[in-house]
Amino acid sequence: QAGLTQPPSMSKDLRQTATLTCTGNSNNVGNQGAGWLQQHQGRPPKPLSYRDNNRPSGISERFSASRSGNTASLTITGLQPEDEADYYCSAWDKSLNAVVFGGGTKLTVL
């Protein structure tokens, strides 16, 4: 199954803002929006947002998601050391009848 496209890595300075992108098509991201997951090494994925900008309880307001057409974005403000992790986007693909994931972006906080 075809996946979503994410840049493999990004580096940002402490306290700066990072914007991660995820590109799909009209059958997935453009149809029902995207979700974002954070994963630290050796830990399970943790949902940060779903259906574009719905944030689960307990998730910091420093994480915000948006979408423009077939591209979803996750913006992390005031970067902290604990934000260093892998970030995956996900979406339901109505054509494939499957969940599709991006390959993940490894965020390094300098």
The residues that touch other proteins, with contacts defined as CB under 8 A, are 1, 35, 37, 44-47, 50-51, 56, 88, 90, 97-104
Minimum Å gap between C-beta 12 and other proteins is 21
In this complex, which beta carbon is closest to other proteins, that of residue 92 or of residue 109?
92
In this complex, which beta carbon is closest to other proteins, that of residue 30 or of residue 104?
104
Q: Write down the residue that tokens 């840049």 correspond to.
A: 7
CB neighbour list of residue 88: distance below 8 Å, 6 or more residues apart: 6, 36, 37, 39, 45, 101, 102, 104, 105
Minimum Å gap between C-beta 75 and other proteins is 19
Minimum Å gap between C-beta 103 and other proteins is 5
Backbone phi, psi, residue 12, to 5°: -140, 155
In this complex, which beta carbon is closest to other proteins, that of residue 32 or of residue 71?
32
The answer to whether the CB of 34 falls within 8 A of the CB of 72 is: yes
